[in-house]
Amino acid sequence: MAADRMTLTTADGAFSAYVARPDGQGPWPAVVVIQEIFGVNAVMRGVCDRLASQGYLAVCPDLFWRIEPGIDITDHSEAEWKKAFALYNAFDVDKGVEDIAATIAQVRASLECDGKVGAVGYCLGGLLAFLTAARTDSDATVAYYGVGVENHLGEAEKLAHPLMMHIAEEDGFVPKDAQARIVGALKNHRCVTIFSYPGRDHAFTRTGGQNFHAEDAAVANGRTGEFFAKHLK
β partners of residue 167: 196
Are 111 and 21 spatial neighbours (Cβ–Cβ below 8 Å)?
no
Helix (H) or strand (E) holding 95: helix 93-109
Clarify whether 171 is annotated catalytic: yes
- CA 88, 90, 91, 95: dihedral to nearest 10 degrees? 170
- Which of 62, 99, 139, 202 is labelled catalytic? 202
Clarify whether 231 is annotated catalytic: no
- Which of 171, 201, 213, 216 is labelled catalytic? 171
**Whats the size of the chain, residue-wise?**
233
Kindly give, in sequence order, each residue whose CB lies less than 8 Å from that of residue 33, ignoring residues fewer than 6 positions away. Answer: 44, 47, 48, 51, 58, 59, 60, 119, 120, 121, 125
d(CA 165, CA 142): 6
d(CA 211, CA 206): 8
d(CA 41, CA 45): 6
**Which residues are identified as catalytic?**
171, 202
